[in-house]
Amino acid sequence: MARIRWNRTEIITTPQRLMMPIHQRYTRDVLNGAKRLAPVAASHTSGSGRPKPGQPLQPSIFGTITMTSSSIHSRIGTHKNYATSIHQGSDAHIIRGRGGRMLKFRWDRGDFLVAARAGRRRGNRRTGQFHYFVSVRHPGNRRPVRFLTTPLHMFGRFYGYRVVSLLAAAGPLP
C-alpha cells in the first residue's frame, strides 16, 4: 500500500511562480493602455483660469498587484474625484458657488455678447474677461472615455482571461 504526501507549499507556490510574470505583463499593458486613453488636459486649469492643484488625470493612474495564498489581484485606478464622470459620463447638472461666493469663468462668447450689447465692433472688443455667475447649468459629459475598461477587456482577451465588467450608465457627479 502506498501513501502520497502532498507538499502543500509547492502546490501553492508553483502556479503563483508560473503565473506571476504573465499577470505582471497583463497589468502593465492595461496600465499603459489606460494612460494612453485617458484625456490629457492641456492647461489643467479651472474655468477661472486658476491652475488646479495636484497631478492631472493621466499621470495619476496607478496599478498595484497583491498576491494571497490562493489568488493574484491587480488594481488599476486613480484617486481623482472627477475620473468617474470622465469614464462613465455624467448627467446635466447645476453647479452653484459655495458659501455665497460667485462662480468666475473666462467665457469667449460672453465677451462677444457684452461687446455686441455695448455697440462695439469686433476689432475693439476685449477678450479674456472674467464673467461671474451665481450658478451655471453644466450640460454633462455625454461622451464617456472608457480609459479603464477598454484596455482591461482588450488585453484580457489577448492573455486568455475571462473579463467581466458591469454595465454603467452616465450618473451624477461623485
For the segment 85-137, what is each residue's pLDDT rounded down to a tens digit? 888 888 888 988 888 889 888 777 777 777 777 776 655 556 667 888 889 88
Torsion sign, CA atoms 67, 24, 22, 155: positive
Provide the percentage of residues in the chain whose pLDDT is more than 90. Answer: 26
Q: Residue 171 has what pLDDT? A: 54
Residue 62: pLDDT band (50, 70, 90) is very high
Cα torsion 107, 109, 112, 113: sign = negative
Please state which of the ranges 64-68, 93-97, 170-174 shows the lowest mean pLDDT: 170-174
Joined grid coordinates for residue 158 = 489577448
**Mean pLDDT, rounded, for 157-161:** 92
User: Binning pLDDT at 50, 70 and 90, where does residue 141 land?
Assistant: confident
Distance from C-alpha of 101 to C-alpha of 98, rounded to nearest angstrom: 6
Most confident listed range (24-33, 94-103, 156-165): 24-33
Regarding pTM above 0.85, the answer is no
Beta strands in the chain (DSSP E): 62-67, 72-77, 93-96, 103-106, 130-133, 135-138
In the chain, what percentage of residues exceed pLDDT 70? 84
**pLDDT of 79 above 70:** yes
Between these two residues, 83 and 116, which has the higher pLDDT value? Answer: 83
pLDDT band at 30 (very low <50, low <70, confident <90, very high): very high
- Residue 65 sits at the vertex; the CA angle it makes with 59 and 66, to the nearest 5 degrees, is 145
- Tell whether the model's pLDDT for residue 158 goes beyond 90: yes
| pLDDT the model gives residue 120 | 63
